[in-house]
Amino acid sequence: MTTQNPARAYLYLLVATLFFGSNVVAGKLSVGEMSPMAIVMLRWVIAAICMAFIARRALLAEWRVLRDRWPYMLAMGGIGFTVFNILFYASAHTTSAINMAIIQGATPIVVLLVSGALLGIWPPALQWLGATITVLGVIVAASHGSLAVLVELSFNRGDILMIVASIIYAVYTVGLRWRPQVSPLVFIAGLALAALLTSIPLAIGEAALGQFQWPTPKGWAILLFIGLFPSLLCQLLYLRSVELIGAARAGVFYNLVPIFGIVLSVAVAHEPLRPYAIVAIALVIGGIAVSEIRKRS
């Protein structure tokens, strides 16, 4: 059962989605600096080491509870942290950024469906409407406001991988409901370790294919950022927000990720802010507001 504290949850979700969005920019900067599985594995090396230090006392106190639920931890860390990122990076090789953004933007609706299917609790109409509006905002952003771009889209292997990735992250979000009764720090530390353990065999496989690339000096700097912020801090904030307002409502905010990507592209890459981007941001924020009307009435 969640504890209702929307104001605090909204702040956590804004910061978390900002870091999620920054991961997109960091991922683009990492191209040529390291291989995909190097990112997936080493980011969790950094996060696991940090969490082991930060949560060392809590880990010792709560390790027995965590140990008893270790199969669950391996599944959640492997699904939500390892497999999702692998599918995300793999899809980028065979599909366009437009398709990826549109499919990823549908994740909140997938969360609603998975939540209803697993828990039997279906959200009210306004929440569905809010989620739909936010997806429209993502579509506007991804298509640059061009209907012709949308008409010409075609699905391929990369699109299917992104659809699976969205479903997997929705399952992970809903699965947080059954997490072990340990502190958030201990839980994230366990997930980071589980993600690391599940990513090692895949990194070995990439090396066996001769495709593993250790980070360059610039790559290590990028990797440090990814390991501390998108991999660690945003996960803690997202977890806490789910505890406060529930998985379905928290999932709606996931659509802010591509919007923050636009903002960061303007700030970091100095790209011009087009009118379509402003419309997209307004739709996403408006959709979130609509989905929350029932809580203010």
Task: State the Cα–Cα distance between residues 181 and 229, nearest whole angstrom.
Answer: 24
Q: Is 31 helix (H, G, I), strand (E, B) or coil?
A: coil
Task: Output the pLDDT for position 221.
Answer: 93
Quote the pLDDT of residue 282.
83
Distance between CA atoms of residues 52 and 102, nearest Å: 36
Give the C-alpha distances (Å, rounded to integers) separating 244 from 42, 237, 286. Answer: 31, 11, 21
pTM recorded for the entire structure: 0.76
| Residue 8 pLDDT | 84
pLDDT for residue 1: 46
CB 268 within 8 A of CB 32: no
Residues, the chain, total?
297
Each residue's pLDDT, cut to its tens digit, for the chain (297 residues) gives 455 667 888 889 999 988 888 877 787 778 788 888 998 999 999 999 988 888 889 889 998 998 899 999 999 999 988 999 888 777 766 766 666 666 777 777 778 778 877 777 777 778 788 878 878 887 787 777 777 777 776 666 777 888 888 889 888 888 888 889 888 888 888 999 999 999 999 999 999 999 899 999 999 999 999 888 988 888 788 878 887 888 777 777 877 877 787 777 777 766 677 788 788 778 877 887 787 675 554
